Amino acid sequence: MEGQRLKYNFPENFWWGAATSGPQSEGRFNKKHRNVFDYWYDIEPSEFFDEVGPNIASNFYNSYKSDLKMMKSIGFNSFRTSIQWTRLIKDFETLEVDYDGVNFYNSVIDECIKNEMTPVMNLHHFDLPIELYEKYSGWESKYVVELFAKFARKAFELFGDRVKYWTTFNEPIVIVQGQYIGEFHYPKIVDGKKAMQVAFNLNLASARAIEEFRKVEHNKDGKIGIILNLTPAYPRSNSKEDLLAADYANKFHNELFLDPAVLGKFPDGIEETLKNDGVLWEATSEELNIIKSNKVDFLGVNYYQPIRVKARESEFDYSNGWFPDKYFEAYEMPGRRMNPHRGWEIYPEAIYDIAINIKDNYGNIPWYISENGMGVQNEERFLNAEGVIEDDYRIDFITEHLQFLHKGIEEGSSCFGYHLWTPIDCWSWINAYRNRYGFISLDLKTQKKTIKKSGYWFKEVTENNGF
């Protein structure tokens, strides 16, 4: 590409990299506690695609040195993973640490730095310790919020001298939806009122972790954020009813976490709506104050798909109680482009809309794309004679999304990076290894890791800081 004029040039020091999480990459080796997914797999393996669980995952616990080197070799300057509560902490109440966990994360962080990749450490990626669910009802409990803040504090103290970018939660709305609405995270409860309390508690937990972060001396030059999956809600039409439905969908799917994190308050009208419906969370003024005074420094945005909605055409069915979709219904837009493997719409334009929304309505807070990607099944179909997966569809997908991101940046949105989900094909909850997302493929039987065509392409993009 040298000498060629770059059409899409990205800002200086732009982050190029990818994200994974502890529970999805490490494997359970030497872990003394189980998270809700470890436990669920132990009791119901048939719930997981091909009955593959998190026990080995992508073996990152044992192969992190060579894995990180491989990531570096395709141009990464930054990398996100998460610290597992169930690996770092031996006793959740006294905060006694597990030294094997401490050594492991120390070494991962040091290796990242050695490879000149900025480590971004997340503290919760759907991995609530099962004991805290069994003893205290997990995220329904404010006591668990406090235990999380203590765990976060411990992580800041142990690693904050070298980790300068932290995030509290990955996709907290997915915990609400998975554990309390849609039954795709253990304990698969269906209860809209509890779901709303959990949404409040997760917002509080994030703010409490931020409060602890700011008390630790060596974090003074560090930054803390949150990772939110933003799914812009587009209305079927411009009718008053459809616009209102989209407004509600945006409030429940996006602003419920975005507004407290960035603005320190809940979206306008949501508390009244919940109160009228008899499902408002319990919150003290002291807790609301904690949320108000502990906003994030930056935002990570996971973007995969938009949501399309319309005003309800059928009566809301109360047989299971109240749920947010009392106020809107999914709309299947004719002609939408789909990723058939994941069943998600492909709509790169939304990245631009997100960029402008952050600029105009969220004080143009610094943000980056913390996940974006395309999960595809049976990628071995695309193996060439050299044993490399030719994933041109992924290159096209990333290119299109980067083009719309670039347009947002040109118009002043302060985006500072792009991370793909994920560096190396990793385990994905109940979908296990069905859809592959990585720049690097994983042979599950042999644990052999091979750079895909998209990985080589990404290296060029990072070297040119654009394309």
Residue type, 277: D
431 binds ligand BGP (CB under 6 A): yes
Residue type, 344: W
Instruction: Using alpha carbons, select from 88, 99, 95, 96 the residue that is nearest to residue 122.
Output: 88
Q: Which residue, 278 or 340, is less far from ligand BGP as judged by CB? A: 340
Alpha-carbon distance of 58 to 55, in angstroms, equals 9
- Check 140, 171, 212, 345 and give the catalytic one: 171
171 binds ligand BGP (CB under 6 A): yes
Q: Which residue, 79 or 266, is less far from ligand BGP as judged by CB? A: 79
229 binds ligand BGP (CB under 6 A): yes
Distance of CA 376 to the CA centre of its chain: 19
Strands 367-371 and 78-82: unpaired
Contact 159, 109 (CB under 8 A): yes
What binding mask, one character per residue, do residues 280-309 give for ligand BGP by CB under 6 A, x or -?
----------------------x-------
Is the backbone peptide bond immediately before 187 cis, with ω within 30 degrees of 0?
yes
Instruction: Examine the residue annotation and report whether 171 is marked as an active-site residue of this protein.
Output: yes
Give the SS3 label for residue 15.
Answer: strand
Strands 376-377 and 415-421: unpaired
379 binds ligand BGP (CB under 6 A): no
- Within 10 angstroms of residue 208's Cβ, the number of other Cβ atoms is 24
Q: Which of 27, 225, 375, 438 binds ligand BGP (CB under 6 A)?
A: 375
Instruction: Examine the residue annotation and report whether 371 is marked as an active-site residue of this protein.
Output: yes
- Number of residues this chain uses to bind ligand BGP (CB under 6 A): 14
201 binds ligand BGP (CB under 6 A): no
Q: Which of 10, 79, 266, 421 binds ligand BGP (CB under 6 A)?
A: 421
Contact 144, 204 (CB under 8 A): no
168 binds ligand BGP (CB under 6 A): no
Residue type, 137: S
Segment contacting ligand BGP by CB under 6 A, of 6-14, 156-164, 319-327, 428-436: 428-436
Interface positions, 41-60, toward ligand BGP (CB under 6 A): none
Q: Which residue, 245 or 346, is less far from ligand BGP as judged by CB? A: 346
DSSP letter string, 306-353: -EEEE--SS---GGG---GGGG-EE---TT--EETTTTEE--THHHHH
Chain contacts with ligand BGP (rule: CB under 6 A): 21, 24, 170-171, 229, 302, 342, 371, 375, 421, 428-429, 431, 435
Active-site amino acid positions: 171, 371
